[in-house]
Amino acid sequence: MPTPSASSDPILDRLASSDCAVKFKAIREVKNHIIGNRTKKHSYIKLGAVPAVAAALADSDPNLIVQSAAALGSFACGVDDGVRAVLDAGAFPRLIGLLSAHDEKVVDAAARSLRMIYQSTLAPKYDFFQEETMQFLLSLLESENENLTGLGAGIVIHSCKTIGEQTILCHAGVLEKLTSLLDSSLSQRDASLESLAAIIRDNPAAVSEFVELHGGRALHSVAELTKDRYPRTRLLACLCLISVKNSSTCYLQDIGIKTKLVYILLELLDDSGQVGDEASFAFSSLIAEKEDLQKLAFEANAINKFNCLLQKHPVQPKRLEGVFLALADLCSKLECCRSSFLSLQVLNLVVDALTHEDASVRTAACICLRSVSRSIKNLSAGRFMNERVVCPLVQLLSDLSTSVQVAALGAISNIVVDFMPHKSTFIECGGIKELVQLTKSMDSSLRLNAVWALRNMVFLADKICKEGIFVELTASSMASLICDPEPSVQEQALALVRNFVDGCVYSVEHAFAEDGIILDAVGRQLKKSTKIEIGIQGMYVLSNIASGNEFHKEAVMQLLFPQDENVSHSFFEQFLQSHDSRLRTAAVWVVVNLTFPANPGAFGRIVNLRSFGIVSRIKKMVNDSCMDVKLRARLALGQILTFGDS
């Protein structure tokens, strides 16, 4: 039988009816069906109802327009496909136009609908730099109509992202207008708080302007709202204060306000709705990178609070992600937080989350694990190097999400530092092959983190472990990584080689595999790189090689002072004179090892070093401003002088 065409669907017929009463009822019916019902919403979108509803915006009947706008707002509420459909139907500019209508009901309906649209990232970006559009925004914020001011705030929340945008909004006096809304209705208050946070976030100049408004009364108003009876208002007020606090070192730095913010946010975590979900993210922004606040949070028993939240089942993905990220920040610096975390057995819950179906949760669990595993005490105790932790992490190395892979690599980078020589658990879980695979990734963040993990794994590794990694990785791959386009990858690759050639004398042979391709790469990199860290790691590579046998020492001499080059441009001379004492120290260690006594070739090398001006340079360094450099230079000079000073 023939398939019914779209035009034969009854609801679409009624939506397109020329009879206003029929059309009105049809639109209202659609609106009533889709409110709070995502499934119905998607059904009507597929049916093509949105363009038909949007067409009614052009009608002359205000009641019809109001119903149409309300339905469009419902379509756009919380559903990106709905927003897309509304925009595709050309409704957006019509709704903007309706804001100037004479009929108050029409204006209200259009404003509410637009507010819904602006809650989506798909809404068109508002151009604050156009005088005309800025004036329009200001007129919205100045309006007596709550829906219009709410729309104005919503536009700011949606589109104010850059410092330039923040600055021009400040210049236009938007901060002052938003502040005046703090005394208004609940929804206006919340919209004002949220838009204020958008303008001042990470912007010290905007923060200063805001703090000075009305002689500080604006800031005081926000602070008072942290005691509001509505959880969402309290959360938004906290976010504003956190932005002020994070953007400057002179506002809101007293311990009283810090403690208060910690306790308010911990309490808001109990909210079972969206506020509770977002409170943990606010908590993270409050304590991230701030040891003193992490201490306050620890003393407020935050670890136990998060642990209790995790014990409730089920925890939906957004909340789970937020809690793990908050725990990650909490445990990022303080050992007492990590101890509390581990003694409360939170680790088991994090490990379980490594296999969560939501990629954001998996990523957050890895980030949390990375923070906790910064505890050397617990790394040394083998707390993390076991199958229960390692196997799921290794599985994540082939996750479909790059964010998950990078986060897993970060956790693995720490966990492999267990101070045991064999790393057998990691090897048995198939981790080495996965890491080596990722060192060849097109994504530089994956390459960097994979090399970083290998570098840490090879630290104090035994011969068997090193051999296993070396065979899998190959000398030519290591040479490629040393010459990687990313300097950070170069640095970690050199540190990896440094660890490979440490240990027993046999380990030095790794640098000479495949005709010395690794050593060649090291030499090329040292000649051309200007990055201090690369110089440091490179010098320690050469220093470690120079602590090997006679052949190894001569190879280093050849690399430092090639026959065919003008030595006055030697990178080694520059390193010995570097402004960075770490590089000077590393360079002197090379000399110490080249001139180590009880080696048959030491005398010959000293003669050469003298002819290249290195000995006279060392003599100057015995009075270096850095103690470590000074002591190493004296050690080197002492060795040199045992062979006489000509």
Partner 1 sequence: MPVRVLENTAAPSSQVSGANSGRSSCQSCSLLGVGQAFSGTQNVSSVQKDEAWRVNVRIQGCDLEHGYLCGTMEALNVPMADTPVVTFWEGEIVDTKNYTFFTGKWEASPEDDIRHWSKFPSFSPLLGQVEADGGKSLDLSNYPYIFMRWKEQYFVNVGTDCGLTIAGFYYICFSCSDGSISGFYYDPNSSPYQKLELKSTNDGRSGFSFSSYQLQ
Q: Which residues bind partner 1 (CB under 8 A)?
A: 335-336, 370, 373-374, 376-377, 379-381, 410-411, 413-414, 417, 419, 449, 452, 455-456, 459-460, 495, 498-499, 501-505, 540, 543-544, 546-549, 553, 582, 585-586, 589, 592-593, 596, 598-599, 626-628, 631-632, 634-635
To partner 1, the closest distance from the beta carbon of 507 in angstroms equals 9
Are 493 and 503 contacting, i.e. CB atoms less than 8 angstroms apart? Answer: no
Question: What's the CA gap between 646 and 24, in Å, rounded?
Answer: 106
Question: What's the CA gap between 458 and 190, in Å, rounded?
Answer: 53
Can you tell me which residue has the tokens 């990022």?
A: 332
To partner 1, the closest distance from the beta carbon of 461 in angstroms equals 9
Rank residues 246 and 371 by Cβ distance to partner 1 and give the closer one.
371
Are 536 and 579 contacting, i.e. CB atoms less than 8 angstroms apart? Answer: no
Six-digit token string for 272: 């079972």
Q: Mutual orientation of helices 387-396 and 359-372 as an angle, nearest 10°?
A: 130
Q: How many Å from the N-terminal Cα to the C-terminal Cα in the chain?
A: 108
Residue 526's nearest CA partner among 587, 455, 443 is 587
To partner 1, the closest distance from the beta carbon of 635 in angstroms equals 8
To partner 1, the closest distance from the beta carbon of 403 in angstroms equals 15
Full 3-state SS string of 388-428: HHHHHHHHHCCCCCHHHHHHHHHHHHHHCCCCCCCCHHHHH
To partner 1, the closest distance from the beta carbon of 495 in angstroms equals 6
Rank residues 1 and 598 by Cβ distance to partner 1 and give the closer one.
598
To partner 1, the closest distance from the beta carbon of 499 in angstroms equals 5
Rank residues 258 and 319 by Cβ distance to partner 1 and give the closer one.
258
Rank residues 158 and 553 by Cβ distance to partner 1 and give the closer one.
553
Question: What's the CA gap between 386 and 348, in Å, rounded?
Answer: 12
Full 3-state SS string of 65-99: HHHHHHHHHHHHCCCHHHHHHHHHCCHHHHHHHHC
Rank residues 255 and 381 by Cβ distance to partner 1 and give the closer one.
381
Rank residues 333 and 610 by Cβ distance to partner 1 and give the closer one.
333
Question: What's the CA gap between 214 and 116, in Å, rounded?
Answer: 32
To partner 1, the closest distance from the beta carbon of 306 in angstroms equals 21
Residue 155's nearest CA partner among 110, 107, 119 is 119
To partner 1, the closest distance from the beta carbon of 559 in angstroms equals 16
Rank residues 282 and 591 by Cβ distance to partner 1 and give the closer one.
591
Distances 614 to 84, 201, 343, 557, 617 between C-alpha atoms, Å: 70, 53, 55, 12, 5
Question: What's the CA gap between 414 and 389, in Å, rounded?
Answer: 12
Rank residues 108 and 399 by Cβ distance to partner 1 and give the closer one.
399
Six-digit token string for 379: 């790394």
108 residue type, one letter: D
To partner 1, the closest distance from the beta carbon of 540 in angstroms equals 5
To partner 1, the closest distance from the beta carbon of 586 in angstroms equals 8
